[in-house]
Amino acid sequence: MCGVEPLTSLTPDQRAAVLALADAAADADGVAPLNEEARLQLDRDGALHWLALQDDVVVGYAQWQPGNATGQLVVHPDHRRTGHGTSLFAGLTADVAEPAVWAFGDLHGAQRFAASAGMVPGRGLHIMERTLEETAPRDTPEGITLRPFTDADAEAFLAVNAAAFADHPEQGHFSADDLAIRQGEPWWDPEGLILAEDAEGVVGFHWTKRHDDRTGEVYVLGVHPRGGGRGLGGVLLDAGLAHLAAGGNTRVILYVDAGNTPAVALYERSGFRIVHTDTLYRPAAEE
Ligand SMILES: CC(C)(COP(=O)(O)OP(=O)(O)OC[C@H]1O[C@@H](n2cnc3c(N)ncnc32)[C@H](O)[C@@H]1OP(=O)(O)O)[C@@H](O)C(=O)NCCC(=O)NCCS
């Protein structure tokens, strides 16, 4: 069973055990239980970790990300319904006042578990997908140029990101360190981070991510409020899709807040369809 005290870092063996556990759950459930940020947090300072052990083997894991005020929780498929999830959640609740937890794919088991833990559905995150067969680039609006990111653009890029996502719980806090970490990832490609510039400088961007030969991602698409209303979102979207298609991708996915109606509408017009929805469960409000 897990100790109630959280760990502030993991040993390499613990990290490997958590990744193996997450892979086993992904195979069984058809959806990964830990997202990119949680995987990155396994070997960085800042997150809290709880391990559930059975015969000294890691059979469950919970992580809390203070910066995002969200947690993630997974139990090995062969060790479910024996109280490990409850014990991990008790660990979270002991240290965190509002223990909101992501349920990726909002699986039936997660829904039942969340209900039994006294949690209710909160924010939703859609995963959308389309094929890349027909990508016709649009005309770039007057006074706008598109070009790839260079290291000299980091500050301007971060400023536009912060303005575009001022109300977004995670993306609005994306920092120079967060950018540097992505630049160290194998998929980093400055050509895949397309900037839109007007007379005042960078005004928008489409950051694409190539997962493998088949699948690409609209990783982040952002337009500064001063550039709104000129169709820049659609222009940047198409430029990024054309980049992914030129590199051989035939399928593209993206994550978007279910409540972000204008963005969901933009993606639907471009042919994206919702594949599934992640749900952030939060404690039910006290009556
Ligand atoms: C959700 C998850 C963490 C539950 O872990 P677990 O160790 O099986 O949970 P517990 O054994 O503590 O279950 C506690 C209660 O939740 C409910 N529950 C859990 N899984 C359930 C399922 N598949 N069907 C119905 N009820 C379920 C039951 O009421 C259960 O009590 P019971 O077994 O006495 O009936 C696990 O299924 C998992 O890893 N899922 C994939 C990752 C995920 O979705 N995480 C998000 C959680 S919000």
Give per-residue pLDDT as tens, 25-35: 999 999 999 99
Q: How far is the CA of 81 from the centre of ligand 1 (A)?
A: 6
39 class by beta-carbon count within 10 Å (0-12 exposed, 13-18 middle, 19+ buried): middle
Q: What are phi and psi of 152, to 5 degrees?
A: -70, -15
pLDDT of 135 over the 80 cut: no
Cβ(68)–Cβ(174) under 8 Å?
Answer: no
pLDDT in tens, 100-113: 999 999 999 999 99
Q: Which pLDDT score, from 0 to 100, does residue 4 have?
A: 60
Q: What is the pTM of this model?
A: 0.82
Identify the three-state secondary structure at position 78: helix
Q: Which pLDDT score, from 0 to 100, does residue 173 have?
A: 86
pLDDT in tens, 12-55: 999 999 999 999 999 999 999 999 999 999 999 999 999 999 99
Domains of the chain by range and CATH?
A: 12-117 (3.40.630.30), 129-276 (3.40.630.30)
pLDDT of 94 over the 90 cut: yes
pLDDT in tens, 180-216: 999 999 999 999 999 999 999 999 999 999 999 999 9
pLDDT band at residue 134, thresholds of 50, 70 and 90? low
What the block records as the tokens of 169 is 């719980």
Q: How far is the CA of 85 from the centre of ligand 1 (A)?
A: 6
Q: What would the mean pLDDT of 228-248 be, rounded to a whole number? A: 94
Q: Which pLDDT score, from 0 to 100, does residue 66 have?
A: 94
Number of Cβ atoms within 10 Å of the Cβ of 235: 22
pLDDT in tens, 43-86: 999 999 999 999 999 999 999 999 889 999 999 999 999 999 99
Provide, rounded to the nearest whole percent, the portion of the chain with pLDDT above 90.
Answer: 87
Query: What is the per-residue burial (b if ≥16 Cβ within 10 Å, else e) of 240-272?
Result: bbbbbbeeebebbbbebbeeeeebbebbeebbb
| Least trusted range by pLDDT, from 79-93, 119-133, 168-182, 247-261 | 168-182
Q: Which pLDDT score, from 0 to 100, does residue 27 have?
A: 98
Q: How far is the CA of 190 from the centre of ligand 1 (A)?
A: 42
pLDDT of 287 over the 60 cut: no
- Helices 154-164 & 176-183, crossing angle to 10 degrees? 120
pLDDT band at residue 3, thresholds of 50, 70 and 90? low
Helix count (H) and strand count (E) of the chain? 8, 11
Q: Which pLDDT score, from 0 to 100, does residue 111 have?
A: 97
Residue among 76, 81, 125, 281 whose CB has most ligand 1 atoms within 8 A, to mutate: 81
pLDDT in tens, 248-262: 999 999 999 999 999
Our answer on whether the CB atom of 240 is closer than 6 Å to any ligand 1 atom is no
Secondary structure letter of residue 245 according to DSSP: H
187 class by beta-carbon count within 10 Å (0-12 exposed, 13-18 middle, 19+ buried): middle
Provide, rounded to the nearest whole percent, the portion of the chain with pLDDT above 70.
Answer: 97
Which atom of ligand 1 lies closest to the CA of 104?
44
Whole-number mean pLDDT of the chain? Answer: 94
CA 107 to chain centre: 18
pLDDT band at residue 228, thresholds of 50, 70 and 90? confident
